Amino acid sequence: MPADLNDYFKKNSPKKDSDDKGGIEPPQFFQDFGKKAGFIYAIIIVIGLIILAKPFVVINSGEVGIKATAGKFDPQALSPGLHFFIPFIQEIYIVDTKVRIINYTDNEDVTMQNPKSGIKFKRAISVLDARGLPVSIDLTVQYKLKAETAPQTIATWGLSWEDKIINPVVRDVTRNIVGKYTAEELPVKRNEIAAQITTGIKDRIDAQPGQPVQLLAVQLRRIVLPQKIKDQILRVQIAKQQAQQAKYEVERAKQIAQKNAALAQGDADARKIRAQGQADAVKIEADANAYANKELGKSVTPNLLKLKQLDVQGKFNEALQKNKDAKIFLTPGGVVPNIWLDSKDPQKAVSVGNK
């Protein structure tokens, strides 16, 4: 027990009598504590050192651990779970293997990004087109670190591997491909350019030793053109729209003309058909009359003519009986002549004909 604690008990303990020279003895617990105090202090110090050194680490899902012993990386990655290491000699680096995203854009504040979210923002990619005009490209790149080769990747590229593998490749490939086109061609050939950028980035990343990164997707989000190019494209689009409108109006006028021509032709054909019908009707009627006359002619016999003449002669006699001054005119050319009676009294004039 410490000396000051023994002095305390000696000073504050009542004396048994005047002849007793000593005080009350302290409890056995305190006497044993004094003997073991060094050992307990040593345990407390060790526990404190363990707490301060923290010789263990917890690896979560979507992460791997890379153990380094005296600065040398262990080639085997540590899977998720609890892992111990020797403080001051060993160290475990936790590396994210989940899907990560880099957005190349000027619409976000790159200084306000949170690296732990797995999403990074970088400045849009500046490119010079085939004529040297500045163009800005916005991209989104999705990728992830391969867990099985993570120790070799970190040993080769370091913990800032993204800025050494992904970023320079994306910018270089984009500049090489976009620089082949003029600014006016970029919006028109957008899909073609996007496919070339994706293929180019994938080929370059897969060509890295050990293929440390898996490229998941590349999206061409926006092409920012110079203002004068935008104005020029707008004018061209307006001109194309006007040409399309004029072409539509010409085509419509042509269709209307064709429709009117078809209607006129139809009307003419209808009139022609009606005239042909009327002509055919007249011809049919004439043919019918001719046929009737022909048949009638066949029916006229000498006896019939003689009978008709007798009938007419009888009518002559009747006319002369009514008007002795009658003049008789014979109309030639008929089968039976017509008789005209002329009288001084018009009311008594009688015309006798073939009925």
Span 40-65, pLDDT tens digits: 777 887 677 666 767 888 999 999 99
Residues 181 and 249 in one domain: no
Residues 117 and 34 in one domain: no
What was the pLDDT predicted at 322?
73
**pLDDT tens digit string along 222-266?**
999 888 877 777 777 788 888 888 888 888 888 888 888 888 888
Here the tokens at position 109 are 């504040």
The CATH number covering residue 165 comes to 3.30.479.30
Domain C-terminal end among 281, 299, 317: 299
1/38 Cα distance (integer angstroms): 11
What was the pLDDT predicted at 353?
45
Beta strands in the chain (DSSP E): 56-59, 63-69, 72-73, 81-84, 90-96, 100-104, 119-122, 125-128, 134-145, 213-224, 339-340, 351-352
Q: What is the DSSP letter of 14?
A: P
Q: What does pTM read for this prediction?
A: 0.55
Residues 137 and 237 in one domain: no
Residues 115 and 199 in one domain: yes
Residues 152 and 118 in one domain: yes
Residues 325 and 294 in one domain: no
What was the pLDDT predicted at 350?
45
38/42 Cα distance (integer angstroms): 6
Residues 181 and 128 in one domain: yes
What was the pLDDT predicted at 44?
80
What was the pLDDT predicted at 220?
95
246/231 Cα distance (integer angstroms): 22
Residues 201 and 257 in one domain: no
What was the pLDDT predicted at 3?
47
What was the pLDDT predicted at 80?
92
pLDDT at position 22 over 80: no
Calculate mean pLDDT across residues 197-226: 93
Residues 231 and 318 in one domain: no
Give the list of residues 6+ apart from residue 266 with CB closer than 8 angstroms, or none: none
Domain C-terminal end among 299, 317, 338: 299
308 pLDDT tier (thresholds 50, 70, 90): confident
**pLDDT tens digit string along 199-208?**
999 999 999 9
Residues 217 and 290 in one domain: no
Lowest mean pLDDT among 101-105, 189-193, 271-275: 271-275
Calculate mean pLDDT across residues 261-276: 85
pLDDT at position 101 over 90: yes
Domain C-terminal end among 72, 96, 120: 96
Percentage of residues in the chain having pLDDT higher than 90: 32
Q: Average pLDDT, whole number, for the chain?
A: 79
2/263 Cα distance (integer angstroms): 129
Lowest mean pLDDT among 31-40, 42-51, 121-130, 293-302: 31-40
What was the pLDDT predicted at 300?
66
Our count of domains for the chain comes to 5
Where residue 100 falls (left for φ over 0; alpha for ψ -120 to 50; beta otherwise) is beta
Residues 144 and 189 in one domain: yes
Residues 163 and 105 in one domain: yes
Q: Print the domain residue range for 269.
A: 227-299
